Structure 1
Amino acid sequence: MMSHVMNPDETPKSIFTALKYPNFRRLWISSIISSVSDQVFPICATMVLLGQKSEALAISLLLSLRVIAYLIFSPLGGVFADRLSRMRIIQGGLLLRSLLCFQLFFFGHTPTLLRLSITVFIMGVIEAGTGPAGAAIIPDLVDRDVLQSANALRAVTGRIASISGPGIAVALVALTSPRSGFLFTAVGLLLAPLALRGLKLSFAERGPHSPFRQELTQGYQFVKRTRWMLPVMICIALQTSVLFGAEMVLLPIITTREFGTASVYPMAIMSLSLGSLITAAFASRLRTKYPGRWSFAAWSLIVFLLIALIFPISPIFVIICYFIGGAATEPMGVLWQTAIQKNAPGEIRARVMSFDSMVSSALMPIGVGLAGPMSRLVGENAYMAGASVIFALLCVLILFVPGVSTFSTPK
């Protein structure tokens, strides 16, 4: 339905249109390899700790270290990506993470919690340094009117990795040992930069550098001046914290309790990924004068994730709701990413995108931390109902901010 509201100066592009650009094609192949490898690592690391009979708190802290490192260091990554060659940053980051995984496999016996924690934190720092470059480089590889196609294809790649990666990890653990996942990840991250060989992208000097402290805040200053951008970032941060914080904590608890099996939990996650995959595949063809309005309209349907948990009628009902919730995510993901890439000047694009990434994730630990205590205080259903109402209201209220409906500054 969205595709009927057309922007007259652009025509719909196939999701594969971006692959006609050789440079983007090389980056895409590299991202497939690295994305699948990245999905294998955390599962195998968790399996290692489970084999050591580590407590749930230890596993939770290990997995959160990567996010914490990213939140702390992503602004620095944005500065470096705007100062240096983005391609070299991407290649260097892949190689460094590969070396970290190789050392887990080859040196010593099964890695301890401390060694794993240090490795995961360093990997998070490296990802913070390279992530902004990966997002900001897309407009350097394709034409402006193909950005949406490129972002949609990247979203599809991520969803395929989120489905296939865990399957590969489970197979590796079943056939060999969790440590083999570290070797698989290391080899994948080593091959990924090789796929970038031949990518011809000249490093354009981006003008004289300002003092580092000033450059560190330039992304924020641009977002602040672009008055519709900061409200959207804050809105999404609040929404993801409130809804996904509750969903992440309560999904395994409620489904296991209600259905007497833990199998519904991974099936729901796979259904969510499948829904996201399907809409991401079509997102490249969405052309509308009001991308913000359509994005938040679709985004509002994510409340189906909590509806499934408030009314856990049957496993099938939960799985269907998660499919709908997953399908609701990608219009926002693709259109919002494209809007930032089109509006942010090339010389500060990485800093703007790193600021967006930092803000969108900043409140998630709070949401996850509050879910358990609040559920006990007011009851699970009451807490999830409240979270759903807040999420839906924010989807409506944000549209009253000038520029949000079109993801552009009003003339």
Structure 2
Amino acid sequence: MTGARTVLRDGAFLRLWTGTTASGLATWALPFVLGLGVVQGVLTAVELGLALGVRTAGFLAAMPAGGVLADRYSRRTTVAWSGALAAAGSAATALALTGAGGIALLLAGCALAGVGQGACRPAFQALVAEIVDGDRRQEANAAMTFAVRGTTLVAPAMTALVATVLPVSGVTLGITALWVVAAVVPGPGTHRPVPAGPRAGFVAEFTEGLTEARRHPWFLAGLGALTAVIATGYSATGVALPLVSSENYGGSAVLAAALTGYTAGALVGAVIVARWRPVARGRVALAGLAVYAVAPLSLLTPLPVWVVVGAYVVCGIGIELFNVPWFTAVQREVEPSKLARVSSLDFLLSYGLAPLGLALIAPAIEAFGLGSVLLVCAAVSLVGPLLAMLAPGARRFSPESAPGR
């Protein structure tokens, strides 16, 4: 990753990269560690479900607020206080896992951690645009995603290993430390003067972000496609892949191999897109997103293991061919003073609706059968991005490719 190595020589970006990586790892780790709590008998399955539910609720509730505050005040300050909230919530969760405070403290800690996680995401995205100049943002976004994918590839084994010598509450304190890093390490962005006089209310300011998003038809189309793929293709991975791995392959080995292959493919995709600049970058990115249709198709009928794993490797490559140009285009095209709000809308719809897809796919499989549901997931994952290619500006994720320009 020559381009990524170049941008990492910038001290301000290196600090931002470190903080973002720490926050991404901490966000991933909490559900995994709580799952270990069930394995170790510290939590019941019901308590785990409640904890993950309030964490997700906190995440979704804080996302729009984080976008407004990051645009209203300093993005760096927003990162600091949101990271502090997540650290405090993680520390409370660790205390609850020792047996103190009971279920009330556990739920309060997880909810607070979710609030911090949701509030920091749009601020981090906006800080990339403040710290890195336009010519290097694609390399910067590739470096970000490479770090996050890399840590999630090795972190499960590392976390499980640490859990053999530390109680689950001690591992959760490690998550607290990661959030402290995320809050403290990132460097300041550029100075943005705050307009004098009274400001519009919270709802009005968030609505300004919606108005800005509507100015970019390619953004709305791409966000719709991404939301559709996550709600269907990702849900097939989350629910159907474990089922198929157990029933068709006699255990969890294919599940683990496919998920590892997906992450490895994403790493390869980040390396490719760090330097690649296709002319029709928007359509290439949407084609990469459409590749996720391969995942549910690979589960339709028993296939050799290498075919299933290979399908997930290809999906991993495709998703990063979309993610990196997508983030870069949003940072480039959106009005800088509204970037965090538009980014919060992006995360809120795409990843915020993922739990709905997960909740619906299991009943759908029971009602219509696994094969029918997988076919629908594949069709939506393919057709959504293809339709998005027709939107004005979608060819390059830029109004330059709109009709008449």
Q: Tell me whether the two structures share a fold, i.e. TM-score over 0.5.
A: yes
Deviations 1:155-191 (A, max 9, x none): 1011012112222211122222222211211222223
Q: CA deviation at 1:285?
A: 0.8
**Match of residue 22 from structure 1:** 11
Q: How does 1:260-271 map to 2 (within 5 A)?
A: 260-271=250-261
2:260 corresponds to 1:248: no
CA distance in 1, matches of 2:18, 2:43: 37
**Match of residue 279 from structure 1:** 269
CA distance in 2, matches of 1:203, 1:238: 37
The amino acid across from 1:93 in the alignment is: S
Unaligned runs of 5+ in 1: 1-11
**Match of residue 192 from structure 2:** 204
**Match of residue 356 from structure 2:** 366
* TM-aligned CA distance change 1:145 to 1:51, over 3 Å: same
The 10-residue stretch of structure 1 (98-107 or 87-96) with the greater mean CA deviation from structure 2? 98-107
* TM-aligned CA distance change 1:281 to 1:57, over 3 Å: farther
CA distance in 2, matches of 1:203, 1:318: 49
CA distance in 2, matches of 1:320, 1:29: 31
CA distance in 1, matches of 2:239, 2:157: 22
Q: How does 1:188-337 map to 2 (within 5 A)?
A: 188-196=178-186, 199-208=187-196, 209-337=199-327
**Match of residue 35 from structure 1:** 24
Kept in 1, the 8 Å contact 2:85–2:112? The answer is no
2:163 corresponds to 1:173: yes
The 10-residue stretch of structure 1 (163-172 or 26-35) with the greater mean CA deviation from structure 2? 26-35
Q: TM-score, normalised by structure 1?
A: 0.90
CA distance in 1, matches of 2:190, 2:42: 51
Kept in 2, the 8 Å contact 1:82–1:351? The answer is yes
The amino acid across from 1:190 in the alignment is: V
* TM-aligned CA distance change 1:391 to 1:159, over 3 Å: same
- Residue 184 of structure 1: which of 174, 186, 193 is its match? 174
Unaligned runs of 5+ in 2: none
CA distance in 1, matches of 2:380, 2:85: 42
* TM-aligned CA distance change 1:257 to 1:115, over 3 Å: farther
- Residue 343 of structure 2: which of 341, 353, 377 is its match? 353
Kept in 2, the 8 Å contact 1:66–1:123? The answer is yes
RMSD between aligned residues? 2.2
The amino acid across from 1:207 in the alignment is: P
The amino acid across from 2:89 in the alignment is: L
Deviations 1:259-286 (A, max 9, x none): 2222322222111111101111221112
CA distance in 1, matches of 2:31, 2:356: 22
Q: CA deviation at 1:65?
A: 3.1
Deviations 1:218-276 (A, max 9, x none): 11111112222212212221221122122211111110122222232222211111110
* TM-aligned CA distance change 1:42 to 1:219, over 3 Å: same
2:85 corresponds to 1:104: no
Kept in 2, the 8 Å contact 1:228–1:401? The answer is yes
Kept in 2, the 8 Å contact 1:101–1:185? The answer is yes
The amino acid across from 2:127 in the alignment is: I
Kept in 2, the 8 Å contact 1:41–1:181? The answer is no
- Residue 62 of structure 1: which of 51, 63, 66 is its match? 51
Kept in 2, the 8 Å contact 1:206–1:347? The answer is no
CA distance in 2, matches of 1:323, 1:296: 17
**Match of residue 44 from structure 1:** 33
Query: Alignment partner of 1:175: what SS?
Result: coil
Kept in 2, the 8 Å contact 1:37–1:189? The answer is yes
Query: Alignment partner of 1:289: what SS?
Result: coil
Q: CA deviation at 1:206?
A: 4.0
* TM-aligned CA distance change 1:191 to 1:393, over 3 Å: closer
2:384 corresponds to 1:389: no
Identity of matched residues, % = 23
Bigger relative contact order, structure 1 or 2 (CA pairs below 8 A, ≥6 apart):
1
The 10-residue stretch of structure 1 (305-314 or 341-350) with the greater mean CA deviation from structure 2? 305-314
Query: Alignment partner of 1:309: what SS?
Result: coil
**Match of residue 95 from structure 1:** 84
Q: How does 1:145-164 map to 2 (within 5 A)?
A: 145-164=135-154
Q: TM-score, normalised by structure 2?
A: 0.91
Q: CA deviation at 1:58?
A: 4.5
Q: CA deviation at 1:113?
A: 4.3
CA distance in 2, matches of 1:211, 1:104: 33
